[in-house]
Structure 1
Amino acid sequence: TWSEYSNENEFQRLLEEASIVKVKVYRNKTLTEIFIDDLVVNDLVLLQPGDTVPADGFLLAGELELNESALTGESRTVKKIASKDEKNAAEEEKSEMSRAAHVEDGEAVMKVLKVGDKTKYGETLKELTSAETRPSPLQEKLAYLGQQISRFGYIGAILIALSFMFNHIFLEAGGWEIYFNKPTGEIIYHVVTAIILAIIIIVVAVPEGLPMMIAVVLSMNMRKLLNAKVLVRKLLGIETSGSLTVLFTDKTGTLTQGKLTVSEFLGGNGEHFTSFKGIPEILRDTVSFAIRNNTPASIDAGDPENPKIVGANPTGYALLRFLGSDVAKQDDVKLKINIPFNSANKFSASQVEGSQNLTLVKGAAEIVLAGCTHYLDVNGNKVKFESGEILAEMEGLSERAMRLIGLAVSEQDLGQVNELPEQMTLVGVFGLRDEMRDESKPAVKTAIKAGIQVVMITGDAKDTAQAIAKEVGILEKENVLVLTSSELSKMSDDEIKKVLPELRVVARALPTDKSRLVKLAKSLDWVVGMTGDGVNDAPAVKNADVGFSMGNGTDMTKESSDIVILDNNFISLTNAVRYGRTLLKSIRKFLIFQLTVNVAAILVAFLGPFFGTNLPLTMTQLLWVNIVMDTLAAFAFSGEPALQRYMSEEPIPKGDSLITGDMWSAILIDGIYMAFLSLFFLTSDFVSELFVCDEIRCSDPEVNLVLLTAFFGFFVFINNFNKFNARTEGLNLFEHITENRSFIMVVVLIFFLQGTFTYIGGEVLRTIGLTFEEWGYVLVFAVTIIPLDLLRKFLRNTFVGNPVA
């Protein structure tokens, strides 16, 4: 559709803006900056801390420490060194470079071997974007409903054609023998007319306006969604979001601000310090030394009071920022051994020698404390470590949703890779906090009220994750479940399925956990939403019923998603759900209106011959009625506002019908009433006396052209009035009507065009001009559909209850 095409263009524009990256290359023996799209094979690229590797290739000179989490999902630093054998360098893992890796430390020159789509990253991205589009639950329901309506239309068309011929053969002619003695041309005319009438009924019955209405709804709301920081890339995304039953969401940057800061520092005896300057000097110097020499980053001390930190991960950045101006200090030490952080070890360690010969360790507090035998007091003295006091204080910090990072030193050398010294001295524990977004708690409450199970997936420790989930409102109910990645890995698929309805938090999560949870939730026939930002999130985002990518996420994840949340905000996710539900509401209103017309038109066409009305509506008139109920009605209902109260309803299960019992009552009661009122209009002497065919207006006294013209206007008007009934399930027909200007414009336009066609239609539309008095009678008959449906709604509210509109 045009709307989906426009949104995709907007998405590509945003991607292009995000990818305007400059790369430092050596050309003609001169270092220059070029755009990444201008990079070519054999270019020599200078890489420094903070850079992202722009292509595939190998290191030609220098050493680097890379974070390849965007490629592997593992937040660990990988060391790369220049190859001594340039011919075989591309096959050497130690010098191989891959696009999208992030430079944390070092400086080196890389030779480019592959660019763009030819890189590993590019090939994976291309594979994800070329996958077949899956139908949404709504599309499946609409396809099934369309088949049912079409079947109903075909059967109705055949019956109407038969009833037309039955009228001519038996009611008018008096039997087979008399009828077939008529001129052959007249018989052929009747047969052809019956066939054409059947075709027109099929055209009227088939809801060709429904796909257009969905496209119009999306295009009309696209700008509103963009203003709400929601970019719909694929139509099925916004269609399906209204039916979400479970949403797996990231924490960092989505529920929180995504900016870690050190809130508190605990000494080894549990003493609290809220600022770096507040720590006693001797202990403060050790904290500063240990952080600076065990946190890969580049420090630009151009502004001594506010040094610039480049290349650190979010945790490292927060720790370095905590040091203030101290971060720019230089130490006379050399790095001997480095063990980078990874999600398996949960610590990093650096052995330095020079002015101080120490092993510096920082990592998950529980890991660091387990290896500590002593702690440093405020005077820098070693004291035997008893964990009781600090553990109690740490528990308090965890309950306040802080991430705990332990810091320790040791005079022992680092031994085996991934093993800590046996005797360490605890320097202290940092409490880092990522502040909640102000709007997260009400947004989560809205989602839960809307019947969506919100599951937070985070890399934080269990206690911290639990505290954050409580603060944001995810853990308000009793008997809900908080699991860690390791606990999930020990459970079978069937075990997870049993506890999935109670699951609310997954702590210490890995990217593979997301894919597994999506697969299992879908196997329970749930409508699943998944958020993601990293490359390893892409499969889970792609496989979810609705994939949400974050605005600051990788291009690959964005390409895999159905909806891009431009501001990474959970409230924008709920806005997407609200607009998705509005789309479904609009479709249902359209269906009530259209199927009511179908029932009325088919009943009139079928029963008309038995009441002596041969063709109450001509084929041309039926085509106009089809335009009124399809094309124009699609525009009328497409502008319905996205009301906040829609978020108080439960999502519609996959297996539920698109048409509810209350909808059927409206369709059948109003449709049958229209049909019998139409037959009364055509056959009643009372009505005939209101529309007298005088000699001036009627050339054929056998045909009351005034009555037939009035009926044509009545049939269009009664359906136009019925739009008000279909708009709302409540008794207030004008509720929020001013927020849907397209509805008002379409209703007025139909009244105007119908009046105009009456006077200019002539033989084409079989119409003649009516007097003001006759128009008054037409309007009185047509408007009766409103009190009838109000009575239906009143009785429903009294005996069944009022459904949410």
Structure 2
Amino acid sequence: MTLTGLSSKDIEELRRKYGTNKLTQLEGESLWQKLLNGFRDPMIMILLVALVVQLVLFAMGQAEWFEPVGIFVAIIIANGVAAYSENSQEHKANALKEEAEALERAKVVRDSCLQEIPVDDVVQGDIVYLQAGDKIPADGLMIEGRVQIDQSALNGETEEADKFPPAQDNDSYDINDLLNNYYVYRGTIVCAGEGYFTTKVTGDRTLFGKMSLEVQEKQRETPLQVKLGKLAHQISTFGYVGAIAIIAGILAKTFFSGVWPEDILGWGRLIIDAVTVAVTIIVCAVPEGLPMLTSILLSLQSLKMAKDNVLVRKINGLETAGSISILFSDKTGTITEGKLSVVELALGDGSHYTDVKSFSRKAIRYFTVGAGVNNGATYSQGNIVGGNSTDRALLKMLADNQLVDEIDKTRLETSVPFDSERKVSSITYWMDPEDSRYFLKGAPEQVLGLCHYYIDKDGVERDFGDKTADEVLNGYINKQASRSMRLLAVAMGSNPDSDHLTLIGLISIRDNVRKEAVEAISAAQSAGVQVVMVTGDRKETAMAIAREAGLIRNDQDIVLTSDELKEKTDEEIKAILPDLRVVSRALPTDKSRLVKIAQELDYVVGMTGDGVNDAPALKKADVGFAMGSGTEVAKEAGDITILDDNFSSICKAILYGRTMFKSIRKFLIFQLTVNVAAVLTCFIGPLLGENVVLTVIQLLLINLAMDTLAAIAYGSEPALAEYMKDKPIPRQENIVTGGMMTEVIIGALYITIICLGILFIEPIRAWFGSTDGVYLKSAVFATFMMAITFNGFNARTEHLNPFEHLGRNTNFILVMLGIFVMQFVFVTFGGEALSVESLSLNSWLVCAGLAFGVIPVDVLRKAMKKAA
């Protein structure tokens, strides 16, 4: 066939009519948009309200300038860190993508000449030339030649599809069936052969393009966003109720004391003072360090994860990973290695081996010729080039056994390549100048029936007797099939017409289960994550892999095919979902449906994938794990990219996500204890006769110091293996649990009692040797800050020892030491600005002793809880 291709005039006309081959790029948010959207965070919104109130008070002369400035700085830092971190991660991912796209080229016939052009310049109607290793640039119909195509990018399967021109122009085929023999698809790769196809559709209209557009759907809120939304409502309610209570307390104390303001101005001053303290309490009730903490955590954990081959593309995906309760995992390349490998060699006497090292030189030579010379792949400079996946696996086996140097194709007389109809390939080869042999390699059902002899490991020819190899080895073949092995028979004879061949051996080939994946799946299951393997493989193969990987353990575990899944209603699937372990022969629509159903049951859903077919499900899942070797569309749809395609890296992402969530809860215990203690102290103090126990400036200093510095301290908490023994946190569960509130209340009550005791309990007052009000309030301020600092150690762990693993978080030690130094400076040098006096050494020791008591109080609480 003479191929002339398109002319320059045709190209421009077709481009105007059908468009270019460029895929629509998903437009991400700019840094500015991320900053603006960050202000919708529930915590940030409360702080914005508090900022407005402080600005009004400042305008009225009732607040210092640094009070609204402090809140404003906290808002900018918290929002800015998160936006910048996510933006920088996206830039890294986009840079890698653009670099890869710039290298993609296509070979087309135009004006009767073969030209190489950028993939984006291909137009509908172009004739594209295909060779082994080429990535197909558009969808189209084969018109000449024959190729084997790796379509795993679209269907997830490693087995190549045979593509050739239809015999007649009117031969029918279904372009939606990727296994049809005539149509090729963008994004797939040529493994062997060569040929030409004419492009039928380009760009977004290709199957690859359509799937890439589907990933633009909006995702639902992450579990942490849901929890923080609830917490924001609870904290704002607490703050408002606390503020009203303080106003009421101050007014009630004034009323019952009998010392009333003398005029309206006096009443006005009293009300303004009460409102000022109340507003300060509202600000103190909001842990403004929480948005900052989440930002710091996401940034720090993202950097740590990059070292573990995990790239966090969408920053919220990390915290969601820690809450995953069900994970739909691809098989190929994630649970398995993603490439075929020779697992076992069997001889005609039933013996089997993992390699050829124990064979004689003669037997090894037969294997080398039968599997290495009769092979479409080539070994060159340490790399295996060309051939189909089976041939590459055979050549790798020979390379691993240092036998590639013995592959001598100069003695090759004739060669007939593999044919999908005959299911065999064959050669005629000169073993020596006087000995020409015929070698056959292919499907056992085509080869074994012809074999009446076999070679033993010493290279000696043996007789099967009155049986054929097929009959003798039938049991072994069935056993290997149950292990999802792909079997290949290698035989030889005197000539191509002989029907009495000698079996060289049976070769078992399989996409092996990753050794580390078995341990990682077990770890995920121990962490309460249900792992479901979703694969395009047949049911028997999928079940064999699932058993070896530890997914199927008992008769209650359910395996469904795509057809069986299709027959069931959503409600029926919901009923069996907890026991579902494998879905075989899966279609892209199956994955999306499973994600939707699991989310309706309020699971936090994870999905892994590498192909374009996985992109819609990756996008819909709460967190999508795209494989580093996968398509750009899958990576674009995913939240996290697993650079080494390893299931164990997914477990690391889950661990880091859980560490982050644990750190947030630790911070909340710490911060809420501060807030509750401040509210209680400022509420009860006026009722006992002291209008101002902690001044507005003191409260703001406590709040800003504790919020910002504690965010850094808890943001550096180590990832502990014990977190993987916990069960996933339900999506709707409150971020603050009953147990956490008990710890907060006990700690806050202790701090409130010792602080008010300094002012109102005579034996405690006596320890300070002074009855001066300012001096005692200075001691209250110092004690309050030290007590909440010591309580920071309590919040770090649920175990009895509050100092465990402290050496793994040097930031925590530095921050706590910094707070101690800071509060000493505040009290010693604050003077009138902070309403304090310098304390004596004895007073400092008393304050420290009272404050340290919060640690044994909490240890006692933990011991009682553990005993119960």
TM above 0.5, yes or no, is yes
SS at match of 1:651: coil
Q: Equivalent residue for 2:477? A: 394
Between the aligned residues of both structures, percent identity stands at 40
CA distance in 1, matches of 2:283, 2:224: 23
CA distance change for structure 1 residues 270 and 165 in 2, over 3 Å: closer, same or farther?
same
CA distance in 2, matches of 1:70, 1:561: 15
CA distance in 2, matches of 1:623, 1:740: 27
CA distance change for structure 1 residues 731 and 684 in 2, over 3 Å: closer, same or farther?
same
Contact 1:58 1:112 in 2 (8 A): yes
Q: Which amino acid aligns with 1:3?
A: S
SS at match of 1:549: strand
Q: Which amino acid aligns with 1:767?
A: V
Deviations 1:612-637 (A, max 9, x none): 11011111111112113322221111
Q: Equivalent residue for 1:6? A: 88
Q: Equivalent residue for 1:781? A: 850
> Which residue of 212, 217, 236 corresponds with 1:125?
212
SS at match of 2:341: strand
CA distance change for structure 1 residues 478 and 646 in 2, over 3 Å: closer, same or farther?
farther
1:432 positional shift: 1.0
> Which residue of 201, 219, 233 corresponds with 1:147?
233
Q: Which amino acid aligns with 1:521?
A: A
State yes or no: 1:263 paired with 2:263: no
Q: Which amino acid aligns with 2:775?
A: V
Deviations 1:6-33 (A, max 9, x none): 3223333443455463526589999887
Q: Equivalent residue for 2:578? A: 501
State yes or no: 1:677 paired with 2:754: yes
Structure 2 counterparts to residues 282-361 of structure 1, below 5 A = 299-300=377-378, 308-310=384-386, 312=388, 314-319=389-394, 325=407
Q: Equivalent residue for 1:342? A: none
1:52 positional shift: 0.6
User: Which deviates more from structure 2 when the two are superposed, residues 615-624 or residues 475-484?
Assistant: 475-484
Q: Which amino acid aligns with 2:235?
A: I
Q: Which amino acid aligns with 1:560?
A: A
Structure 2 counterparts to residues 447-596 of structure 1, below 5 A = 447-477=524-554, 479-596=556-673
Q: Equivalent residue for 2:690? A: 613
CA distance in 2, matches of 1:449, 1:678: 45
CA distance in 1, matches of 2:719, 2:383: 47
1:256 positional shift: 3.3
Q: Which amino acid aligns with 2:240?
A: Y
SS at match of 1:378: strand
> Which residue of 709, 720, 734 corresponds with 1:632?
709
CA distance change for structure 1 residues 774 and 33 in 2, over 3 Å: closer, same or farther?
farther
State yes or no: 1:168 paired with 2:245: no
SS at match of 1:456: strand
Gaps of 5+ in 1: 86-90, 340-347, 410-422, 695-702, 801-805
CA distance change for structure 1 residues 764 and 99 in 2, over 3 Å: closer, same or farther?
farther
Q: Which amino acid aligns with 2:136?
A: V
CA distance in 1, matches of 2:427, 2:515: 46
User: Which deviates more from structure 2 when the two are superposed, residues 45-54 or residues 481-490?
Assistant: 481-490
CA distance change for structure 1 residues 256 and 72 in 2, over 3 Å: closer, same or farther?
closer
Q: Which amino acid aligns with 2:328?
A: F
| TM-score, normalised relative to structure 2 | 0.74
State yes or no: 1:236 paired with 2:313: no
CA distance in 2, matches of 1:197, 1:624: 14
1:116 positional shift: 7.3
Q: Equivalent residue for 1:698? A: none
Q: Equivalent residue for 1:668? A: 745
> Which residue of 452, 469, 477 corresponds with 1:377?
452
SS at match of 1:455: strand
Deviations 1:455-490 (A, max 9, x none): 333445545444443433333456433444454445
User: Which deviates more from structure 2 when the two are superposed, residues 645-654 or residues 321-330?
Assistant: 321-330
Structure 2 counterparts to residues 63-78 of structure 1, below 5 A = 66-71=149-154, 77=161
CA distance in 1, matches of 2:236, 2:409: 73
Q: Which amino acid aligns with 1:783?
A: F
CA distance change for structure 1 residues 211 and 133 in 2, over 3 Å: closer, same or farther?
farther
CA distance change for structure 1 residues 658 and 114 in 2, over 3 Å: closer, same or farther?
same
Q: Which amino acid aligns with 1:590?
A: F
Q: Equivalent residue for 1:103? A: 190
1:584 positional shift: 1.4
Q: Equivalent residue for 1:344? A: none
Q: Which amino acid aligns with 2:187?
A: A
State yes or no: 1:442 paired with 2:503: no
1:271 positional shift: 7.4
CA distance in 1, matches of 2:152, 2:134: 14
> Which residue of 291, 303, 306 corresponds with 1:226?
306
Deviations 1:626-658 (A, max 9, x none): 113322221111111000111122222334332
1:51 positional shift: 0.8
CA distance in 1, matches of 2:237, 2:649: 41
Q: Equivalent residue for 2:807? A: 738
CA distance change for structure 1 residues 23 and 713 in 2, over 3 Å: closer, same or farther?
same
User: Which deviates more from structure 2 when the two are superposed, residues 661-670 or residues 508-517?
Assistant: 508-517
SS at match of 2:740: helix
1:758 positional shift: 1.9
Q: Equivalent residue for 2:19? A: none
Structure 2 counterparts to residues 269-288 of structure 1, below 5 A = none
CA distance change for structure 1 residues 132 and 513 in 2, over 3 Å: closer, same or farther?
closer
CA distance change for structure 1 residues 477 and 122 in 2, over 3 Å: closer, same or farther?
same
Q: Which amino acid aligns with 2:810?
A: R
Q: Which amino acid aligns with 1:205?
A: A
Contact 1:260 1:318 in 2 (8 A): yes
1:581 positional shift: 1.2
CA distance in 2, matches of 1:389, 1:334: 28
Structure 2 counterparts to residues 160-199 of structure 1, below 5 A = 160-173=246-259, 179=261, 182-199=262-279
Q: Equivalent residue for 2:763? A: 686
CA distance in 2, matches of 1:742, 1:557: 37
CA distance in 1, matches of 2:307, 2:284: 38
Q: Equivalent residue for 2:831? A: 762
1:543 positional shift: 2.0
CA distance in 1, matches of 2:466, 2:588: 41
Deviations 1:632-690 (A, max 9, x none): 22111111100011112222233433233321221111112222222222222334444
SS at match of 1:377: strand
Q: Which amino acid aligns with 2:385?
A: I
State yes or no: 1:714 paired with 2:783: yes
1:191 positional shift: 1.8
SS at match of 1:439: helix
State yes or no: 1:215 paired with 2:277: no
Q: Equivalent residue for 1:50? A: 133
Q: Equivalent residue for 1:726? A: 795
The CA RMSD over aligned residues, in Å, is: 4.5
Contact 1:280 1:378 in 2 (8 A): no
CA distance change for structure 1 residues 285 and 242 in 2, over 3 Å: closer, same or farther?
closer
CA distance in 2, matches of 1:653, 1:336: 54
CA distance in 2, matches of 1:496, 1:15: 38
1:158 positional shift: 1.4
Q: Equivalent residue for 1:23? A: 105
CA distance in 2, matches of 1:638, 1:646: 16
CA distance change for structure 1 residues 215 and 426 in 2, over 3 Å: closer, same or farther?
farther
CA distance change for structure 1 residues 434 and 43 in 2, over 3 Å: closer, same or farther?
closer
CA distance in 1, matches of 2:279, 2:600: 43
User: Which deviates more from structure 2 when the two are superposed, residues 439-448 or residues 222-231?
Assistant: 439-448
Contact 2:214 2:615 in 1 (8 A): no
SS at match of 2:311: strand
CA distance in 2, matches of 1:331, 1:494: 64
